[in-house]
Amino acid sequence: MATAVSIAPEREHYLNKEYGIRSWLLTTDHKRIALLYLVSITFFFFIGGFFALLIRLELLTPAGDLVQADTYNKLFTMHGVIMVFFFLIPAVPAVLGNFLVPLMIGARDLAFPKINLLSWYCYIAGGILVLHAMLTGGLDTGWTFYTPFSTAFSNTAVVEAGLGIFINGFSSILTGLNFIVTIHRMRAPGLTWSRLPLFLWSHYATSVIMLLGTPVIAITLVLVVLERAFHLGIFDPTRGGDPLLFQHLFWFYSHPAVYIMILPSMGVVSEIVTCFSRKRIFGYYFVAMASIGIAVIGFFVWAHHMFVAGMSLYAALIFSILSYLVAVPSAIKVFNWTATLYKGSVSFSTPMLYVFGFIGLFTMGGLTGLFLAALGIDVHVTDTYFVVAHFHYIMVGGTVMGYLGGMHYWWPKISGRLYPEAWGRLAALIVFLGFNLTFFPQFILGYLGMPRRYWQYPPEFQVLNVLSTAGSTILAVGYLLPMVYFLWSMRYGELADDNPWDAAGLEWKTSSPPPTFNFDETPVVTWEAYNYDELPTPQEVHVEQ
């Protein structure tokens, strides 16, 4: 690795090609746009996390003593809105996906670079509207905007926040559109669909969901805004409108949105698990098709959010069965990753630690999801902390673990520097412990009957709530650490060579950081994905040097 030092400083790459604010804000380089997204989603992540910590502080004691009930409603709403729409959904696709999709297929950029930049501006415009709504009156509808509360009763800035999310939706749509066209039309010669890295398969599936789902939430929020602002009555029960119709439309997007969050992280896991096992992925086609399967089945399970909302029992039965079915492709992935480890030459670098965290936590989240898909149990735990714990295991334990694993894995490519490995492993450990301490007690709380979205609770729930709050502070430390040492490494980190992990994949065949147009000449692919059996092991590489 030391050999890279002598040549690195002079070489022109995407980071040092131009300087100045204009070169960033008007860039059409997918790698720079990825970094714009990185900065902005990190900003929103810490805002959302700040609200989460306030929620946990309030719940430290049974009495509602830190904030008032109204403020508490605003806190969990703003936590949900920011984390779902401005962090979890864009996190992996907009940062890692933007950076890696063209690199992995040997293209010079995404198909529509200007539209890519436009998507970031949509994100920022939506974000500014939502932040402004939060500072001037807040929002107390929950991130779900259920009618008729959101249309007729809430005294908060529903219209502005709704418009902010609507505009932000275009950033999803434009990113998904860019990915699909790029993967279809711009693959390097020889890169057939069956040679495509699984990261791309999962981003393809994600993009399909973004494109088919996001417009539906867009029109739903438009109708809510029109109802609030111009007295249209489409969801208004006093005029015969049906609030359940709102819930159907909302969850038609918002359940698949969970797969928008988790599928890209699954792609990250597939990349990392092969690299640090030095093995081909077990069952390539099954993992690839499982992504597509999740995207397709994921569109037919939405009403499991509404089992107690007054649905016909027969409809509920069908949605229950379909919800069980979507677990099948998810389980296929988990089993295939585990089988990839078998007899692999496994090393425990930081990205791999996050992958282990992902597999364990995602399994927990997935299995408790089956509890919730079962009609009988769902009635018992609906709107309790059991649900809260379940979706945090998927969204934080799954998505964020994958995101952090991917950030560590590709950081040398993104920045040209190595992060400090010992700190990385320590942070991964802290995140894992802090996460479980925060959210595992919530399963028990929910099963015992503590409802979600209340600012006070009976005293017998206090011990578990104190555990959860303690865990959240540990988790916060775990999330702050990588930010600190990533920033530190940009200046002081050891210079990375082109392929510090000796990984397969086109993105490692260009320099670190890559030049503006990614490859000096268009690569020709003649190998299958993850051909680790044909690559030298890291030990052999060292002997040669």
Partner 1 sequence: MSNSPAPLVLEHTPGLQHHFADMEQQRNASSLGMWIFLGTEIMFFGGMFLAYLVYRMWYFNEFAAGSRTLNLLVGAVNTAVLICSSLTVALSVRAAQLGKRTLLVTLLALTILFGLVFLGVKAYEWDEKFTEHHVPGYSFHFQPESPEKPVDQGHAQIFFSLYFAMTGMHALHMIIGVGIFSVITWMAWRGRFTPEYHTPVEIAGLYWHFVDIVWIYLFPLLYLIDRRPHG
Going by C-beta distance under 8 Å and a sequence separation of 6 or more, which residues neighbour residue 89? 172, 257, 260, 261
Residue 95's nearest CA partner among 45, 30, 47, 18 is 30
Number of residues that bind partner 1 (CB under 8 A): 45
Closer residue to partner 1, CB minimum distance, 30 or 390: 30
Closer residue to partner 1, CB minimum distance, 33 or 496: 33
Q: Which of 12, 242, 534, 540 binds partner 1 (CB under 8 A)?
A: 242
Closest approach of partner 1 to the CB of residue 1, in Å:
31
If binding is defined by CB under 8 A, does position 249 make contact with partner 1? yes
Q: What angle do CA 287, 378, 467 make, to 5 degrees?
A: 85
Amino acid at 241: G
Q: Which of 138, 213, 471, 505 binds partner 1 (CB under 8 A)?
A: 213
Going by the DSSP 8-state scheme, the letter that residue 8 receives in this structure is G
Q: Is 343 exposed, middle or buried (0-12, 13-18, 19+ CB in 10 A)?
A: exposed
Going by the DSSP 8-state scheme, the letter that residue 240 receives in this structure is T
d(CA 413, CA 510): 9
If binding is defined by CB under 8 A, does position 310 make contact with partner 1? no
If binding is defined by CB under 8 A, does position 241 make contact with partner 1? yes
Going by C-beta distance under 8 Å and a sequence separation of 6 or more, which residues neighbour residue 55? 72, 75, 76, 79
If binding is defined by CB under 8 A, does position 95 make contact with partner 1? no
Asked if residues 236 and 148 have their Cβ atoms less than 8 Å apart, the reply is yes
Asked if residues 228 and 133 have their Cβ atoms less than 8 Å apart, the reply is no
Q: Please give the distance of CA 167 from its chain centroid, rounded to a whole number.
A: 19
Asked if residues 105 and 187 have their Cβ atoms less than 8 Å apart, the reply is yes
Closer residue to partner 1, CB minimum distance, 233 or 538: 233
Closer residue to partner 1, CB minimum distance, 24 or 112: 112
Region 145-174 residues binding partner 1, contact defined as CB under 8 A: 173
Closer residue to partner 1, CB minimum distance, 33 or 504: 33
Q: Which of 112, 149, 300, 423 binds partner 1 (CB under 8 A)?
A: 112
If binding is defined by CB under 8 A, does position 17 make contact with partner 1? no
Closest approach of partner 1 to the CB of residue 117, in Å:
14
Give the DSSP per-residue string, 466-493. Answer: HHHHHHHHHHHHHHHHHHHHHHHHHHHS
Region 359-378 residues binding partner 1, contact defined as CB under 8 A: none
Residue 359's nearest CA partner among 343, 345, 338 is 338
Q: Which of 57, 66, 67, 232 binds partner 1 (CB under 8 A)?
A: 232
If binding is defined by CB under 8 A, does position 7 make contact with partner 1? no
Indicate the SS3 state at residue 381.
helix
Closest approach of partner 1 to the CB of residue 390, in Å:
28
Closer residue to partner 1, CB minimum distance, 393 or 519: 519
Q: Which of 212, 480, 481, 535 binds partner 1 (CB under 8 A)?
A: 212
Residue 543, Ramachandran bin (φ over 0: left; ψ between -120 and 50: alpha; else beta): alpha
If binding is defined by CB under 8 A, does position 239 make contact with partner 1? yes
Going by the DSSP 8-state scheme, the letter that residue 23 receives in this structure is H
If binding is defined by CB under 8 A, does position 245 make contact with partner 1? yes
Helix axes 385-394, 421-448, angle to 10 degrees: 150
Region 24-63 residues binding partner 1, contact defined as CB under 8 A: none
Closer residue to partner 1, CB minimum distance, 136 or 522: 522
If binding is defined by CB under 8 A, does position 111 make contact with partner 1? yes
Closer residue to partner 1, CB minimum distance, 54 or 196: 196
Going by C-beta distance under 8 Å and a sequence separation of 6 or more, which residues neighbour residue 151? 158, 224, 227, 228, 235, 236
Closer residue to partner 1, CB minimum distance, 193 or 492: 193
If binding is defined by CB under 8 A, does position 108 make contact with partner 1? yes
If binding is defined by CB under 8 A, does position 380 make contact with partner 1? no
Stretch that binds partner 1, among 41-49, 73-81, 109-117, 384-392 (CB under 8 A): 109-117
If binding is defined by CB under 8 A, does position 515 make contact with partner 1? no
Contact characters 174-203, partner 1, x per CB under 8 A? ---xx-xxx-xxx-----------------
Closer residue to partner 1, CB minimum distance, 109 or 378: 109
Closer residue to partner 1, CB minimum distance, 116 or 336: 116
d(CA 400, CA 395): 7
Closest approach of partner 1 to the CB of residue 77, in Å:
23
Amino acid at 124: I
Asked if residues 42 and 403 have their Cβ atoms less than 8 Å apart, the reply is no
Asked if residues 198 and 271 have their Cβ atoms less than 8 Å apart, the reply is yes
> Contact residues for partner 1 (CB under 8 A)?
107-113, 115, 173, 177-178, 180-182, 184-186, 211-216, 218-220, 222-223, 226-227, 230-234, 236, 238-242, 245, 249, 517, 522
